[in-house]
Amino acid sequence: MPAAHLSRWHPSFLFFDHPNNLGYKTLDDFAVSKGGVYMRYSDDILLIIPAEDGVAEEAEKLAIAEIKKSGSKLIIKQEKTCIAEFQKSKSGLMFSHIKGLQGHNGFEYLGFQYDGKFVYVRDSTI
């Protein structure tokens, strides 16, 4: 069943001690430089950026590299990582799974799933 309403998300920022080799101080700086948005809730990171060749892979590499600098026990779980694309279509947005073990039926974040048309509460959340 689609969720009727999602409350507004408030981003928090993951700050790095120094600019990385790409010159970004935060993942937010990276997202903004690409015309996108960075959101984080606890250990769940979300980058929404316009589709360009290589930008998703660049974002993933940046996040992995910067998180590794924060300590050897911090890792990005590949089984929870998803790269997806949404394209405009006549019926709304069309979801395409690009990479990752998660999110084959829609993009998942904070217990919700979005398929381009509807927002669902994941079964594991209930």
| 45-92 pLDDT, tens digit each | 888 888 888 888 888 888 888 778 777 777 777 777 888 888 888 888
pLDDT band for position 18 (cuts 50, 70, 90): very low
Q: How far apart are CA 118 and CA 74, in angstroms?
A: 33
Domain extents in the chain: 1-76, 77-126
Q: Is 49:34 a contact under the CB 8 Å cutoff?
A: yes
| pLDDT given for residue 3 in this prediction | 40
Q: Give the number of other Cβ atoms within 10 Å of residue 86's Cβ.
A: 16
**Residue in the structure block whose two tokens are 């911090």:** 74
| 4-17 pLDDT, tens digit each | 333 333 333 333 34
Write the single-letter amino acid at 19. Answer: P
Tokens matching residue 101 = 């073990």
